[in-house]
């Protein structure tokens, strides 16, 4: 490997060291309901986000709270130290549509109405808060 290639690879590896992500696939709630909760914590410091999720009355908040704790644990394992208050924030949270179960519901006069039971995939990326990232 050439020197230039090695230097860029080390820079890329160092940049990846600061971020950590966690994924949750095939959550049996609609993506629209999950996005309402995801929008509450996007760009927020992680311990504040955990507090918001803990006291939210949405059913999806419990799932995202568990996923956020997993992302924090992944960051701690990668950096070999505990996360401190004010150090980490939720940089990216994506909610994508998953597989859809299609069912039929009986309707009047011999017809059937289609039921779509939606699911979603959630990805949370946790990043360290630098001086240049602050507003």
The model's pTM is 0.84
What is the reported pLDDT for 27?
95
Of 90, 92, 95, the C-alpha closest to 51 is: 90
- Return the pLDDT at 85: 82
- 13 lies in some domain: no
- Provide the greatest CA pair distance for the chain: 75
In-domain check, residue 71: yes
Please report whether residue 10 resides in a domain.
no
pLDDT at 13: 85
Is 44 part of a structural domain of the chain? yes
Tell whether 55 is covered by a domain: yes
pLDDT at residue 134, rounded to an integer? 52
Does residue 69 fall inside a structural domain?
yes
Per-10-residue mean pLDDT of the chain, 135 residues long, equals: 89 82 95 96 95 96 96 91 88 96 96 96 91 50
CA distance 35 to 39: 6
The answer to whether residue 9 is domain-embedded is no
Which domain range does residue 100 map to? 19-128
Residue 115 lies in a domain: yes
Spatial CB neighbours of 42, under 8 Å, sequence gap ≥ 6 = 90, 92, 93
């Amino acid at each position: 490997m050439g020197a230039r290639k090695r230097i860029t690879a080390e820079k890329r590896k160092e940049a990846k060291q600061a971020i950590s992500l966690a994924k949750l696939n095939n959550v049996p709630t609609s993506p629209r309901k999950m996005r309402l909760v995801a929008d509450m914590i996007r760009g927020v410091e992680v311990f504040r986000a955990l507090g918001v999720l803990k006291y939210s009355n949405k059913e999806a908040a419990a799932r995202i709270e568990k996923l956020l704790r997993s992302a924090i644990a992944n960051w701690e394992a990668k950096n070999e130290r505990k996360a401190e208050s004010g150090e980490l924030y939720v940089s990216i949270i994506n909610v994508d549509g998953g597989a859809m179960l299609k069912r039929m519901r009986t309707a009047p006069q011999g017809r059937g109405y289609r039921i779509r039971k939606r699911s979603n995939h959630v990805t949370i990326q946790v990043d360290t808060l630098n001086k240049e990232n602050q507003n």
